[in-house]
Amino acid sequence: MEFSWTILLVVVVVNSLYICAMFLAQEADWSLPPHYTFIPGTNQRFLWMQNFHTMTWGDAIGIPLIINAFVHLVVNGLISPWQWLVFLAIAIVDAWGFRKMCVGPNHKPDMGFPEIGKVSWIGFIHLPYHGVGVAMSVLAIWHIFTGDLYGPVLYVALVGGVIYIASFIADIWAGNFDPLRRV
């Protein structure tokens, strides 16, 4: 598969605009606790978008490199109608599951889910982003195994995967995904 710089540029621009929309939704939401404050009844900080490695490095650099592979597959006509149905199912199930997890009683409140059972504007905007990103990633992985994804497009996607996984691990080490701990 031939690599297209144009596709990569379009993906980076669209992804960046979506990240900006999430950031603006966060900044415009005056109901969120101030940055660097503690969650009431805990010794844990309330996290904003910029506190997550996955929402900064992962979403800004890793995800576009993975999405680039998926868009190359689409442009080359390699996503079949049944794969679009699988894509839609994965995106919906992931967004629903992510929301269910984040509104649960053990989830540490953050900018997307500031209270148990509550979703903020950035949370609503992030849910389809998460679902679509997971769906694109799963189908890209599928196409690695079918042999449709290869060469520079594959290598760029693998670099994106490594960046995102490293960001995820950094969030784990930083305690960003720790459960809510009341004191």
Domain boundaries, the chain: 5-174
Model pTM greater than 0.75? yes
Provide the CA 120 distance to its chain's centre, in angstroms: 16
Structure tokens at 21: 């929309």
Specify the residue for token string 């939704």. 25
**What does the pLDDT look like over 75-125, one tens digit per residue?**
999 999 999 999 999 999 999 999 999 999 999 999 999 999 999 999 999
- 122 neighbors 49 (Cβ within 8 angstroms): yes
Nearest-angstrom CA–CA distance, 126 and 133: 10
**What does the pLDDT look like over 112-163, one tens digit per residue?**
999 999 999 999 999 999 999 999 999 999 999 999 999 999 999 999 999 9
